[in-house]
Chain A
Amino acid sequence: QKEVEQNSGPLSVPEGAIASLNCTYSDRGSQSFFWYRQYSGKSPELIMSIYSNGDKEDGRFTAQLNKASQYVSLLIRDSQPSDSATYLCAVGAGTALIFGKGTTLSVSS
């Protein structure tokens, strides 16, 4: 059974801090990794995709991938209250994505 694990949280950070969200996966053959943001009552929104080991930066977001450790993370710099949401890690498995259960982030002003 292929699994994606995330700490459900809530993860609470003050405004302006760095939020670090983590995800581990079981399928060593996975090649694609995605982070989605989901506000309460809304649909998931793709934030980042990463396919190679290392870091990928997009604005305040940095995705980090370590395939040897089967670990992918999302860093949010200068966190804002508008970043408060559930963050879903998704890992490619064959023809489909396997989603983690999500980490709830709360940014306090």
Chain B
Amino acid sequence: NAGVTQTPKFRILKIGQSMTLQCAQDMNHNYMYWYRQDPGMGLKLIYYSVGAGITDKGEVPNGYNVSRSTTEDFPLRLELAAPSQTSVYFCASQGGRLSYEQYFGPGTRLTVT
């Protein structure tokens, strides 16, 4: 049981490039989340999903897109990367609305220069 996995661990992008951050979980959780964590700050919710085929915006969705074609996978797409997207990105999953606990992946550190 690997829990929540994220790839890549590190990435450097040039301004204007695009990339997809991968997230997968093997706990059969319905709920999945993408957060960003800026230095010295808390987590801000980018997008979340309550099940396959269903996604919704969080607090800071601009510049990002997501899809949820399977229960296991929840990729985050960055189009036209900007320096403001330099951050650490965490994916998390939760069993259901009353499961109370979110399980986090190890994070992806992204630098846009």
Q: Do A and B come from one complex?
A: no
Instruction: List the interface of chain A (C-beta within 8 A of B).
Output: none
